[in-house]
Amino acid sequence: MLSSYKLICNLCKQCPVRYIRTSPCLKTFWEKDDKGGYKDNRQYPSLKERMRGGIKELKHEIALWKEEMKERLESDPLLIFRPGEVDVQWQFNDTESLKKWIVTADSDNNEGHSNCSLTLTSGGKGIFSGELSTRAPKDGRVKRSGYCNIKTTRARKSFRRDAHLDWTSYNMLVMRVRGDGRSYLLNIHTRGYYDITWNDMYHYVLFTRGGPYWQVARIPFSKFYFASKGRIQDRQESIPLNKITSFGITAGERHGGEFSLEIDYIGLEFDPNHREDFAYEMYKTSKYIVAT
């Protein structure tokens, strides 16, 4: 019976016995979808409703396109380099500022029991808070759980065109925060067009001080390390600052419980005294050993 199901695989000829394959050959790199296997359960409107909504947004998109043209004509690259001055990218001062962020937790994907939120405090600052639960669901698949995350929406131009944030004029990330003593993971996403770059991300651990005082964290971009799907890559490289798609903050320590991170603003700075390109020492390795 087995002989009737045998097939010859032209892509992989080293197998002594070949059968019908239900997955791509190991020699190829392929991502099925940009969500990494997570399902999108949102209910999308019909084509007729989408067309009506598009006509309503046309006026707003045209106004946004005019602002893009105006900014391009008036921009002066010589005015960008202002040492010691912070250019605020995201500031939490009203409810409109919260709409630029996406809040997720492991419970949203049926992978845990954590919950979180991003709200405004009575003082008009943003607060990322919730409860981390390290209790894994009993589904026989998930072994570890316990994470909460906030992430900015994708940078876009007018008429829903995907864009990138260009941070090439800066070398520092500046954050004014008030933490609870926990450590938080900062994420800079550099998703590209091809699927091999969909999960490319650069991380840095932000250590906070507990207590009533604010702290200003100045983090060089050279300190961020390269990872994909949470795995640190052997072959490291500096951030392509002209291809930033989003920025995020993750709470995911081994110790569960309540957490709270109050944020005033997130900005960028150019420090002429910082001349480091990449902070981590690289080693030459043999071919096909390093994981890219």
pLDDT in tens, 238-275: 888 988 999 999 998 888 899 999 999 999 999 888 88
- pLDDT tens for each residue of 80-117: 567 778 889 999 988 888 999 999 998 888 888 999 99
pLDDT confidence of 18, banded at 50, 70, 90? very low
For the chain, the average pLDDT equals 80
Percent of the chain with pLDDT over 90: 32
Instruction: Please report, for the chain, the start and end positions of each structural domain, with discontinuous segments joined by +.
Output: 83-269
Question: 26 or 102: which carries more pLDDT confidence?
Answer: 102
Rounded average pLDDT over 198-226: 91
Distance, in Å, from the CA atom of 132 to the CA atom of 45, rounded to the nearest integer, reads: 34
Place of tokens 């589904």: 139
183-187, 253-257, 287-291: least confidently modelled range: 287-291
Q: How many CA atoms lie within 13 A of 160 on its CB side?
A: 4
pLDDT of the residue at 132: 92
- pLDDT tens for each residue of 30-46: 677 777 667 666 677 78
pLDDT of the residue at 267: 94
Nearest to 92 by CA among 116, 119, 62: 119
Rounded average pLDDT over 142-148: 86
pLDDT of the residue at 14: 45
Tokens of 146: 């316990």
- Is the pLDDT confidence value at 217 over 50? yes
145 exposed, middle or buried (CB, 10 Å; 0-12, 13-18, 19+)? buried
- Is the pLDDT confidence value at 198 over 70? yes
Into which CATH architecture does domain 83-269 fall? Sandwich (2.60)
- Is the pLDDT confidence value at 73 over 90? no
Percent of the chain with pLDDT over 70: 78
pLDDT of the residue at 123: 86
- Is the pLDDT confidence value at 138 over 70? yes
Distance, in Å, from the CA atom of 188 to the CA atom of 95, rounded to the nearest integer, reads: 24
Kindly report the length of the chain: 292
- Is the pLDDT confidence value at 160 over 70? yes
Rounded average pLDDT over 69-89: 71
